[in-house]
Amino acid sequence: MTQTEKDEKYMRMALVEAREAMERDEVPIGAVVVSPRGTVVGRGHNLTEALVDVSAHAEMQAITAAAQTLGGKYLQDCTLYVTVEPCLMCAGAIGWAQVSRIVYGAADDKRGYHTFTSKSPFHPRAEIIGGVLGEECAELMRTFFKSKR
């Protein structure tokens, strides 16, 4: 499997999470954390409404879950897949966790971290890849927000 195929495989898992959020009437964003050996060590989807908690974003759930699975709060060798560009809060958490590879689907020009930052919030050696299954990830968001209008 090429790296691109691998990235799409895990992004599809993040999309499964995003669809679960959608079914619960939550903003449809999903995330998975994958170990260097290719094991999913954490997953999550947006649960801000259900948990009455602004911090219950997909990435936060997945990072917390991964830390529990691995028994340590640093995820240096892991890849985080998330269907939408992380917000500032999640980017900060990803930085604290020292995640070394961040792969996201759709860009978010309004709430994504890049709109607010002047300096990378991630680990200095982190690799950031956007646009993986980006259209599919964006479409899910459009469908959700259209249904809310």
| Catalytic residue status for 59 | yes
Cα torsion through 13, 48, 96, 78, rounded to 10: -10
Q: Which of 64, 129, 136, 139 binds its own copies (CB under 8 A)?
A: 64
- Return d(Cα 2, Cα 147) in angstroms, integer: 37
Q: Which is nearer to its own copies, 71 or 124 (CB)?
A: 71
Q: Is position 90 annotated in a ligand binding site?
A: yes
Q: Is position 123 annotated in a ligand binding site?
A: no
In degrees, rounded to 5, the angle at the alpha carbon of residue 83 between the alpha carbons of residues 107 and 127 is 70
Q: Is position 87 annotated in a ligand binding site?
A: yes
Q: Which of 95, 102, 132, 141 binds its own copies (CB under 8 A)?
A: 95
Q: Which of 12, 13, 19, 92 binds its own copies (CB under 8 A)?
A: 92
Q: Which is nearer to its own copies, 14 or 57 (CB)?
A: 57
Cβ partners under 8 Å of residue 143, min gap 6: 22, 28
Structure tokens at 35: 């170990």
**Residue stretches of the annotated binding site for Zn(2+):** 57, 87, 90
